[in-house]
Chains A and B, each alone.
Chain A
Amino acid sequence: NAGVMQNPRHLVRRRGQEARLRCSPMKGHSHVYWYRQLPEEGLKFMVYLQKENIIDESGMPKERFSAEFPKEGPSILRIQQVVRGDSAAYFCASSPRDRAPYEQYFGPGTRLTVT
């Protein structure tokens, strides 16, 4: 059973470009969480999605950031017009049940570097 997959593992973007980060949950999991880890900082919750629904986006910056989890395909975290401060590791986690972050499994992360 494959774990949580994220791609790309490393992404370099110039300021002003768009970044798209993908997360494929574990088989049988329909709940996805996105976290951001800034250098020397803890993981910070961004958004919690179920298939075709955003359940909780209280940790998401109000501008430039969006997330989706379509019926088919991976979850996408999209950052428009990236700035240097967006450089971080972005982790997604999946769980099999509703409101069950105690059963989260993390992906390997995408390291975004904005130049």
Chain B
Amino acid sequence: GQNIDQPTEMTATEGAIVQINCTYQTSGFNGLFWYQQHAGEAPTFLSYNVLDGLEEKGRFSSFLSRSKGYSYLLLKELQMKDSASYLCAGLYSGAGSYQLTFGKGTKLSVIP
């Protein structure tokens, strides 16, 4: 299978910046997603990277390096409501369709 690895938990202070890293297997890889999931709720789309580089969207940015099999999600000016799990997911081709393979998620706790 395609392993997606990310840290299990992180803690950061309100107003600070936090970077959540993700590594993935490059074979069959087509793109990298980040989702936010609050406890008991559906994942919501944050970003999708296909090309190398940084994509900025407000307080959230996502970076991809295809050669290194590496991505990160950067959250700036952290707010309490950013406490959630952040899911890294790779888009892989195979078996006649594209599939999303998710990591286990990084549980981010924002503290005052």
Contacts and interface: CB of A to CB of B under 8 A. Distances in A.
A58 B101 CA distance: 12
Contact of A43 (B31, B41, B43, B48): B43
A106 B42 contact: yes
B33 A41 contact: no
A55 to B, nearest CB: 5
Given A102-B31, A102-B48, A56 B95 contact: yes
Contact of B43 (A56, A58, A106): A106
B98 A101 contact: yes
The binding surface of chain B is classed by DSSP as strand
Interface residues of B, number: 25
Interface in B60-112: 87, 89, 91, 94-105
A56 B104 contact: no
9 contacts: A4-B42, A40-B104, A41-B104, A42-B105, A58-B94, A59-B99, A102-B31, A104-B45, A109-B42
Interface of A: 4, 33, 35, 40-45, 48, 55-56, 58-59, 91, 99-102, 104-109
Given A55-B97, A91-B42, A99-B97, 13 more contacts: A33-B100, A42-B102, A42-B105, A43-B43, A43-B89, A45-B99, A56-B99, A58-B94, A101-B91, A102-B48, A102-B98, A105-B45, A107-B42
Interface of B: 4, 31, 33, 35, 41-45, 48, 87, 89, 91, 94-105
